[in-house]
Amino acid sequence: NAGVTQTPKFQVLKTGQSMTLQCAQDMNHNSMYWYRQDPGMGLRLIYYSASEGTTDKGEVPNGYNVSRLNKREFSLRLESAAPSQTSVYFCASSAQDRTGANVLTFGAGSRLTVL
Amino acid sequence: QKEVEQDPGPLSVPEGAIVSLNCTYSNSAFQYFMWYRQYSRKGPELLMYTYSSGNKEDGRFTAQVDKSSKYISLFIRDSQPSDSATYLCAMKDDKIIFGKGTRLHILP
């Protein structure tokens, strides 16, 4: 049971470099999310995709782009990394259960440092 | 006022004690209330969720929702060192909002 798989687990970038965080889920969930987690700030939503082919901005989308490649995969791209993007990034997926709840399943996280 | 408030702790209690973790919120439209547990350097994992008001029990864990007071709680009975983690509350109307998390240490 892989669940939600994120790569890479760790990455160090220099300011201005670009990179893509990859996320894949094998639970046939429709919705996928990218969060960042910073000390004292909690989990903040960057972008989400309610279904294949759609993406929407979350609370902190500036500096990021996303692609919902297919139902399984949702990638997050930093075009020109900045030190303020140093964070732990979590991908999550969800499906609505019979009660209407959207329960999130998270990946293990990707720890990004921008120098 | 932030939508969801949660004391960051840390909260240290002796093994075997009852732990009470709490969140307050301002949005009366929230219908689903969730608790996630996050171990160090891991992703959050769902512990429990409740719909609307009331209590829900799962083993040593009990979740309570008081919508009139806009207050939710998670109780852990017979706490164990393995319960040491950060506990995040989360709430949903059309989107999910997380609290900042409370760090809990259970002392052997």
Is the pLDDT confidence value at B107 over 90? yes
pLDDT at B1: 59
DSSP state of A73: B
Is the pLDDT confidence value at B30 over 70? yes
Mutate: best of B5, B25, B96, partner A, most A CBs <10 A:
B96
Q: What is the mean pLDDT of residues B23-52?
A: 92
The answer to whether B100 contacts A4, with C-beta atoms less than 8 Å apart, is no
The more confidently predicted of residues B45 and A103 is B45
Is the pLDDT confidence value at A1 over 70? no
The more confidently predicted of residues B95 and B86 is B86
The answer to whether B43 contacts A109, with C-beta atoms less than 8 Å apart, is yes
Instruction: Report chain A's mean pLDDT, rounded to a whole number.
Output: 93
The answer to whether A109 contacts B34, with C-beta atoms less than 8 Å apart, is no
Assign B16 to helix, strand or coil.
coil
Q: pLDDT tens across A50-102, in order?
A: 999 899 999 999 999 999 989 999 999 999 999 999 999 999 999 877 777 77
CB B98 within 8 A of CB A42: yes
DSSP state of A9: S
Mutate: best of A7, A9, A23, A102, partner B, most B CBs <10 A:
A102
Using DSSP, how many helices (H) and how many strands (E) does chain A show? 0, 11
The answer to whether A107 contacts B101, with C-beta atoms less than 8 Å apart, is no
Q: What is the mean pLDDT of residues B15-40?
A: 94
pLDDT at A41: 84
